[in-house]
């Protein structure tokens, strides 16, 4: 059950966030920005303090109430999926792949989009909602 | 003196320069849509930077399409129907609607209609043009239709075949309408 999607750019700024269900408390937009920035920082720290050398940053955060999956692309863009605790890694990976593909198509190939800026593209929105609906169904 | 080992055919031989390559339809004719989308994206950015307004930008896109259309017409005629040139209006329009569209976009256009209010107006529609598939126009430029590129291609094919035409309207995302004046009938 996919609750929300956040996309964070290379500098740690939030460029896209979208809730799909009512299972999450409503956050103000400022709180979303803080969440994104904090996660970006924690991700960087975890990759440095890891006892295993050459490890990536935090990829899964599990709590009793939710799970956060993070996928970092080669360019430094992070896709965060907030799901319920029962979601398996493989399901989340599948959803992440689909969102990444939509990002590569509708955001990157759009000439009117400035990279690293907030994403305001209806085609991307509509398709992300569609993917979330099929994942949650 | 013994010859050095001859170069193996594909891996070491350099491809001949573009003017010396075989014109016949080869296997590797297809281009990935993603590559084309990125190229088109850059063409649009270039057109935006160089033009002053939406009309100007559509004209620039139409010019890009025009250059493509002229060359496409020659190539298609050479490959598919050597020695035959369409002189009648309806034949040219059908040619564009099926052959040109299929060669360029992989599918025939969706509809060819005759305009009702104007004698000389014809419309070719494509419900989901694949060059503009990934483009979402922002609200402040909602008048812009990226189909102007395709319109340029159609205009060039008509011009190259000897028909005078002027684009009348590009409905965003779908139709390309042309006023086509049949010179034969006018004289």
CA distance A64 to A90: 19
- Closest Cα partner for B58 from B138, B180, B171, B159? B171
Test the A interface: residue of B134, B137, B139, B145 with most A CBs within 10 Å = B134
- Among candidates A110, A120, A122 on the partner chain, residue whose Cβ is nearest the Cβ of B134: A110
Nearest chain A residue to B45 by CA distance is A111
Most confident of A27-41, B13-27, B92-106, B134-148: A27-41
CB contact under 8 A, B135 and A110: yes
CB contact under 8 A, B42 and A112: no
Please, which residues have CB within 8 angstroms of residue B100's CB and are 6 or more apart in sequence?
A: B72, B73, B76, B153, B154, B157
The tens digit of pLDDT for each residue in B135-178 reads: 877 777 776 777 788 888 888 888 888 877 776 665 544 455 55
Q: How far is A110 from chain B (nearest CA, A)?
A: 5
pLDDT in tens, chain A (137 residues): 889 999 999 999 999 999 988 877 888 889 999 999 999 999 999 999 999 888 888 889 999 989 999 999 999 999 999 999 988 899 899 999 999 999 998 888 888 888 889 988 888 999 999 999 998 88
Closest CB to A123 among B41, B45, B136: B136
The runs of H, that is alpha helices, within chain A are 29-49, 89-102, 122-136
Which residues lie closer than 8 Å to B19 by C-beta, 6 or more apart? none
Q: To the nearest whole angstrom, how far is the Cα of B54 from the nearest Cα of chain A?
A: 14
Contact, B75 vs B99, CB < 8 A?
no
* Interface contact A109-B37, CB threshold 8 A: yes
Residues of A in contact with B50 (CB under 8 A): none
Q: Taking CB atoms and an 8 Å cut-off, how many pairs form between chains A and B? A: 36
Dist. CA B14–CA A77, nearest whole Å:
38
């Amino acid at each position: 059950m996919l609750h929300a999607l956040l996309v964070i750019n290379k500098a740690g700024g939030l460029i896209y966030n979208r809730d799909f269900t009512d299972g999450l408390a409503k956050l103000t937009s400022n709180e979303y920005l803080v969440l994104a920035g904090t996660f970006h920082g924690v991700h960087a720290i975890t990759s440095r303090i890891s006892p295993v050398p050459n490890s990536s940053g935090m990829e899964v955060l599990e709590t009793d109430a939710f799970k956060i999956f993070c996928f970092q692309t080669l360019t430094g863009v992070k896709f965060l999926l907030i799901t319920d605790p029962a979601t398996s890694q493989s399901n989340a990976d599948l959803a992440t792949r689909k969102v990444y593909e939509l990002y590569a198509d509708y955001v990157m190939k759009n000439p009117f989009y400035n990279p690293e800026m907030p994403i305001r593209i209806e085609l991307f929105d509509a398709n992300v909602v569609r993917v979330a609906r099929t994942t949650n169904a | 003196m013994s010859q050095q080992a001859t170069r193996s055919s594909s891996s070491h031989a350099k491809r001949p320069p573009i003017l010396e390559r075989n014109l016949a339809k080869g296997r590797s004719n297809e281009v990935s849509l993603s590559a084309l989308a990125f190229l088109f994206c850059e063409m649009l950015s270039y057109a935006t930077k160089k033009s002053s307004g939406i009309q100007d930008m559509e004209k620039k896109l139409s010019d890009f399409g025009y250059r493509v259309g002229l060359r496409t017409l020659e190539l298609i005629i050479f490959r598919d129907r050597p020695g035959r040139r369409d002189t009648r209006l309806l034949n040219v329009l059908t040619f564009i609607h099926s052959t040109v569209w299929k060669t360029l976009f992989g599918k025939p256009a969706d509809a060819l209609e005759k305009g009702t209010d104007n004698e000389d107006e014809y419309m070719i529609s494509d419900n989901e043009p694949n060059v503009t598939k990934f483009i979402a126009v922002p609200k402040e430029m909602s008048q812009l239709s990226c189909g102007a590129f395709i319109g340029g291609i159609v205009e060039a094919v008509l011009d190259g075949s000897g028909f005078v035409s002027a684009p009348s309207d590009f409905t965003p995302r779908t139709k390309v309408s042309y006023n086509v004046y049949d010179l034969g009938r006018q004289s």
